[in-house]
């Protein structure tokens, strides 16, 4: 009996340990939401959807994001990511696939919402001007100065004000801007070195090289062997890793507890500033990327997304797929990685975001003594690209789809930060429910369907249809849902199961609350908040942009949604792909996708 009790005690302890490990972010299922280990929430689009299509509708259209990884069995790096600032609480349906990199041992989870952090954080005072980001090289961090708000409710104003008071900025001696959000609600320290521009600096024939470089950097440095790094991270429940799942940004991240910060920072900085680039470790990284690529291209929806983007982004700086390609992954060498690091890991591309209970001036001094010593390389950041979508449809034969077809349509979105952009984000939360109602419930035409927006510097949106047996009919069912929203209709608040269609005005408050709740849910960790700050800073040009999400959503009217949906979706060109077996594709009328 004693032996029996001991066995089950050990089993229970093991299960609780596993749950703690999962909640810490070491293993992340293929789902939308921030990954505690890197916290990058992202304007990243996906390829991998296979594990996520629960048939419950799509992920909500959302706000500033950078990629966040999902752990992979291959090398501890992630292969799926979110594209949202807020997921609307629906889980992964569009599966934006990130390519996070590096080992991700268990990571402490701080678990505090931004609202709670704002109430309890101590930090410098602030003003309503953003000029402080210029800072004084190598000096103590200055209070942050966010852009002034327009009309704003007292509750929204209080939230923004409290959070701005916890943010300070500075600039290192070599010009690297630093943004520090002080949070005394927990003991987790998160630092993110952000590299701007990503695929704009990637040669097409070397697609994926920046992510591979970041992965190789986690596997040894001048002072720390790979085994040393792994042991150190495991012993302290910390994480040193990277993410490359965005066309616009990559990052190199540290998440640790305050008491381990000095030790972990030394290893983290050495990995970035003095990477070992060991040949055997590089071979392991490259092998892992090749395996992930093969898995991605074996998944029908992932393959469809990859093929669509190859055509859609051919003339953009996004042409070099951050996952890599079969050709690029076969050609990238260790010499290429060393050369890419030497040429493109430069202060001109970098910013640093820190979230935790830091003393700003002390942290700035530590950063200046390390990252501030990097030499400039004369690199200029690329201007924002412009995506021009032309109505088209691609038919992709894929015999392995097993009697099912997969569809995706991409379209351009209005300028980021515009009233139409915000209206579409809220509108797509409604469109998700309408698509589910019309395409799945009324017509039984697919397993899952969703819509999503992506806050890339060239913003775009998508409609995805996952597993359909009637590709020849599904487009007209999608049109029924879009027509409903474009005519000012949506699902009745809280009654998706009943499928009641009502004027947008009757349900808009419900959808606003749902969206804003999703926004706050995406801020569970210091690392995820850091990701939102980084995306806001580079993609939107204002590091405090994410704080004003509730304000912008509250300002949207039913007329705003109707106008934006008609202009940017119903009456706009869409680039489609239909993937499936040949006999299924032969039934599809090309003209219906070009209307």
Contact 496, 437 (CB under 8 A): yes
The confidence score (pLDDT) of residue 104 equals 33
Helix (H) or strand (E) holding 341: helix 334-344
The confidence score (pLDDT) of residue 151 equals 62
Report the number of secondary-structure helices (H) and strands (E) in the chain: 18, 15
Q: HSE, CB side, 13 Å, CA atoms: give it for residue 24.
A: 21
Question: 536-593 pLDDT, tens per residue?
Answer: 999 999 999 999 999 999 999 999 999 999 999 999 999 999 999 999 999 999 999 9
Residue with the two structure tokens 């296979």: 50
CA 164 – CA 168 distance, rounded (Å): 8
CA 456 – CA 324 distance, rounded (Å): 19
> Would you state the torsion angle of the CA atoms of residues 81, 84, 86, 91, taken in this order, to the nearest 10 degrees?
-40
The confidence score (pLDDT) of residue 35 equals 30
The reported pTM is 0.79
Burial label for 54, CB within 10 Å (0-12, 13-18, 19+), is: middle
pLDDT (tens place) for every residue of the chain, 595 residues total? 444 443 444 444 344 443 333 333 332 222 222 232 222 334 455 454 433 333 333 333 333 333 333 223 233 333 223 333 333 323 333 333 333 333 333 333 333 333 333 333 333 333 333 333 333 444 445 554 433 344 678 888 999 999 999 999 999 999 999 999 999 999 999 999 999 999 999 999 999 999 999 999 999 999 999 999 999 999 999 999 999 999 999 999 999 999 999 999 999 999 999 999 999 999 999 999 999 999 999 999 999 999 999 999 999 999 999 999 999 999 999 999 999 999 999 999 999 999 999 999 999 999 999 999 999 999 999 999 999 998 999 999 999 999 999 999 999 999 999 999 999 999 999 999 999 999 999 999 999 999 999 999 999 999 999 999 999 999 999 999 999 999 999 999 876 667 789 999 999 999 999 999 999 998 889 999 999 999 999 999 999 999 999 999 999 999 999 999 999 999 999 999 999 999 999 999 999 998 7
Helix (H) or strand (E) holding 551: helix 549-554
Q: DSSP string spanning 483-531? A: HHHHTTEEEPTT-TTTT-EEEHHHHHHHHHHHHHHHHHHTTSSHHHHHH
Comparing CA positions, the residue from 352, 368, 364 lying closest to residue 174 is 368
Contact 173, 368 (CB under 8 A): yes
Angle at 31 between CA 312 and CA 284, to 5 degrees: 75
Angle at 531 between CA 150 and CA 215, to 5 degrees: 155
Burial label for 46, CB within 10 Å (0-12, 13-18, 19+), is: buried
The gap between the terminal CA atoms of the chain, to the nearest Å, is 73
Burial 448-465 (b: 16+ CB within 10 A, else e): bbbbbbbbbbbbbbbbbb
């Amino acid at each position: 009996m004693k032996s029996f009790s001991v066995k089950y005690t050990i089993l229970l302890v093991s299960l609780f340990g596993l749950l703690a490990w999962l909640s810490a972010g070491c293993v992340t299922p293929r789902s939308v939401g921030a990954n505690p280990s890197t916290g990058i929430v992202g304007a990243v689009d996906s390829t991998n959807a296979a594990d996520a299509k629960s048939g419950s509708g799509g992920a909500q259209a959302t706000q500033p994001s950078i990629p966040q990884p999902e752990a992979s069995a291959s090398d501890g790096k992630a292969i799926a990511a979110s594209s949202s600032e807020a997921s609307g609480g629906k889980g992964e349906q569009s599966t934006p696939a990130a390519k996070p990199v590096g080992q991700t041992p268990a990571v402490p989870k701080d678990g505090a919402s931004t609202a709670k952090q704002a109430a309890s954080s101590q930090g410098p005072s602030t003003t309503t001007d953003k000029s402080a980001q210029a800072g004084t090289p190598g000096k103590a961090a200055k209070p942050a100065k966010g852009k002034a708000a327009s009309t704003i409710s007292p509750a929204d104003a209080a939230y923004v004000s409290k959070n701005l008071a916890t943010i300070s900025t500075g600039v290192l001696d070599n010009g690297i801007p630093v943004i520090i959000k002080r949070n005394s609600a927990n003991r987790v320290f998160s630092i993110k070195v952000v590299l701007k521009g990503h695929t704009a600096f990637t040669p097409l024939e070397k697609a994926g090289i920046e992510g591979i470089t970041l992965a190789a950097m986690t596997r040894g440095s001048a002072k720390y062997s790979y085994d040393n790094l792994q042991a150190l991270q495991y012993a302290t429940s910390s994480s040193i890793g990277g993410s490359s799942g965005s066309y616009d940004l990559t990052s190199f991240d540290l998440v640790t507890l305050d008491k381990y910060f000095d030790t972990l920072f030394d290893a983290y900085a050495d990995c970035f500033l003095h990477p070992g680039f060991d040949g055997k470790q590089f071979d392991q990284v490259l092998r892992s990327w090749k395996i992930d690529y093969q898995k991605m291209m074996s998944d029908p929806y992932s393959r469809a997304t990859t093929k669509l983007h190859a055509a859609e982004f051919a003339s953009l700086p996004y042409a070099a797929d951050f996952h890599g390609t079969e050709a690029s992954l076969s050609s990238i060498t260790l010499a290429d990685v060393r050369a890419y690091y030497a040429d493109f890991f430069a202060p001109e591309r970098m910013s640093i975001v820190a979230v935790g209970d830091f003393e700003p001036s002390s942290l700035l001094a530590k950063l200046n003594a390390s990252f501030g010593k990097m030499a400039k390389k004369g690199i200029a950041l690329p201007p924002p690209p412009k995506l021009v979508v032309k109505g088209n449809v691609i038919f992709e034969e894929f015999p392995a789809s097993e009697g099912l077809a997969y569809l995706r349509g991409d379209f351009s979105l209005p300028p980021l930060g515009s009233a139409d952009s915000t209206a579409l984000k809220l509108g797509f939360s409604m469109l998700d429910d309408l698509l589910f109602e019309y395409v799945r419930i009324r017509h039984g035409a697919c397993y899952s369907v969703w819509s999503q927006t992506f806050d890339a510097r060239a913003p775009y949106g998508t409609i995805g249809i996952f597993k359909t047996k009637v590709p020849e009919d599904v487009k007209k069912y999608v049109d029924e849902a879009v027509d409903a929203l474009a005519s000012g209709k949506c699902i009745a608040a809280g009654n998706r199961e009943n499928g009641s269609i009502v004027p947008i005005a009757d349900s808009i408050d419900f959808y606003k609350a749902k969206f804003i709740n999703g926004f706050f849910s995406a801020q569970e960790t210091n690392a995820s908040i850091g990701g939102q700050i980084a995306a806001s800073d580079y993609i939107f040009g204002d590091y405090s942009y994410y704080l004003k999400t509730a304000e912008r959503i509250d300002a949207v009217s039913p007329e705003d949604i109707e106008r934006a949906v008609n202009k940017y979706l119903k009456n706009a060109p869409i680039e489609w792909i239909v993937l499936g077996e040949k006999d299924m594709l032969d039934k599809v009328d090309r003209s219906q996708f070009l209307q």
